[in-house]
Copies of this chain bind each other. A is one copy, B any other.
C-alpha cells in the first residue's frame, strides 16, 4: 500500500509499473521463502511450521516416502523396518523367484510356493490408495493400557466393523458383542475357553471337533494349549453317526464357511453343539454372499478382508453376553487386548474400504476381479489334465454385487486322480510346486491345497509350473483305461 501511494522519483510511467510489479513480486517471494524455509527441522525438539503447515510429522513422512520410492522393478518392496544394509538403509525385499538389489533378476525354473494363505493379492489395492490409507503415529499415541472403551477396545473401530458388516450384508451385528483378538488365530482358543465348562471338576471336558477337510490350526492350537476343560476329539464324522443326540451337548464344533481349503459354504454337523463359525473368507471378493451370516459365534480377520495379515487383528461376533465376557477376559488375561497401534491402523483401513464400497474403487470388486481371473486361468489349464482335478464351484447370485458371481476362491483344492500319485503334495513338489498336503486337513494324501491369494508373481510362476506339469502328462503315463487307445 505504501508503495502505491508515494510516487517514486526518477522513473517514468513504464518504470513505475515495473517498480510496482517488482515490489509485489519480491513480497510474494518473501512470503514463499519464509514458508519454505521455516519448516520442521528434524534435529530440533521444537519443530517450526513448514510449507505444508507440517512440523513434527514431516520427518517421518519424508522417511516413509523415501523408502517407498525405491525401485524394486515391480517385483518387491522396501519397508521402513527392512534389514539395514551396509549403507544403513533397508533394501528391496523381492517376491519369490526374483532377486538382485532391485529384484530385476528372475530365478530360472523357480519352484512355485503356493503353500501359505498370504493375502498379498490385495497389496496393489493399497498402493493405489496410498494417500487415504496412510497413518501417522505420534510417539505418544495411546501409550496407556486403556483406550476409548475404558478397557482395551477402540470404540471407533467397533463402530466401523459394524458399519462394514451392515454395508456388505455378510453378518448380522446388531444383537452381537464384539471381541478383538491378535488375529482370529487367538480367538480360536479364546472361544474354546469361553464355550468350555467353567472350572468345575464335576463337568467332563468339552470335545473340540471339526469336519474334514478342516483348517489344521483348530487342532494344533487346541492340542498345544491342552486346557483341562476341553480336549481335541477329531472329526465330526466319528460323532455324527453316533445316534445319541444327547451326547452332542458337550461338543465345540469348528465350522469354516466358506471352508478352508475347499471354499464350500458349510453348516454345523452336530446338532446341539456349540459351533464356532469361522467366517474369515465370507467377503464378496472370495465367495458369493447369499445372506448375512447370523450364527451365535462368528470369527473374522483382516487377513482375508483387507489383506493385512501382518497386523494380527481379528474379531468375533458373539450373541451370548456371558460367552463374550469370557472370551474378552481371555484376551485381557493373555495379552491385555489387541495392540492399540494395530487398532488405529485397521480403523484407517476400514474407513478407506467403507468410503469406496460400490464405487469403481471398491476393494471387493478389485479383489474379485483378481481372484476370478486367477481361477479362470488355472481352470483352463487343469481342464486339460486327467492327472489332477480341482473342486467344482458353481456361479451363484451374490447379494453384495446384486448379480451372479463367478467363482473366485482363495485356494485350489487339488486332487491327484492317477492311481500311482498316492501323495499329491509330493506329485506337485516333483513338478516344482509347493502346496499344503491334505493330510493336515485329515483329508488324506490324495488332496493338497494350492494357495491363489499371494502376489501376482507367485501366481504367474504357479501357473507356469502347472502348465508344464499338465503339458508333460502325455509323456508321463497314459491314464488307466486309455492305455490301449
Contacts and interface: CB of A to CB of B under 8 A. Distances in A.
Interface of A: 10-11, 14-15, 18-19, 21-22, 25-26, 28-29, 32-33, 35-36, 39-42, 44-45, 47, 50-65, 68, 77, 79-84, 90, 93, 116, 118-120, 122-123, 126-148, 154-157, 181-183, 185-186, 189, 193, 199, 217, 220-221, 223-229, 303, 307-313, 329-330, 333-345, 347-349, 352, 361
Given A11-B15, A60-B61, 18 more contacts: A10-B14, A25-B29, A50-B52, A57-B61, A57-B136, A80-B141, A83-B156, A84-B156, A130-B139, A139-B349, A143-B307, A143-B311, A145-B303, A183-B335, A199-B226, A221-B334, A335-B335, A341-B341
Given A36-B32, A132-B59, A312 B338 contact: yes
B140 A137 contact: no
26 contacts: A11-B14, A21-B22, A25-B26, A28-B29, A28-B32, A29-B32, A42-B132, A45-B131, A56-B65, A56-B134, A59-B131, A60-B134, A64-B135, A68-B138, A80-B136, A80-B344, A82-B148, A93-B148, A122-B143, A126-B139, A127-B139, A139-B352, A185-B335, A225-B227, A312-B335, A312-B337
B143 A123 contact: yes
A336 B225 CA distance: 14
A126 B145 contact: no
A47 B339 CA distance: 30
A60 B64 CA distance: 12
User: Top 8 A-B pairs ranked by shortest CB distance?
Assistant: A133-B139, A51-B51, A32-B32, A126-B139, A56-B130, A64-B136, A310-B340, A57-B61
Contacts of A14: 10-11, 15
A63 B136 contact: yes
Contact of A123 (B93, B140, B308): B140
Contacts of A339: 182, 310-313, 338-339, 341-342
Contacts of A311: 142-143, 339-341
B156 A140 contact: no
A47 B130 CA distance: 9
A130 B340 CA distance: 19
A156 B81 contact: yes
Given A50-B52, A221-B333, A309-B144, A342 B344 contact: no
A105 B68 CA distance: 45
Contacts of A122: 143
B10 A336 contact: no
Contacts of A131: 40-42, 44-45, 47, 55-60
B136 A61 contact: yes
B156 A143 contact: no
| A11, A64, A199, A227 — most chain B CB neighbours (10 Å) | A64
A140 B126 contact: yes
A12 B340 CA distance: 70
Given A21-B22, A330-B224, A51 B36 contact: yes
A81 B45 contact: no
A114 to B, nearest CB: 14
A312 B333 contact: no
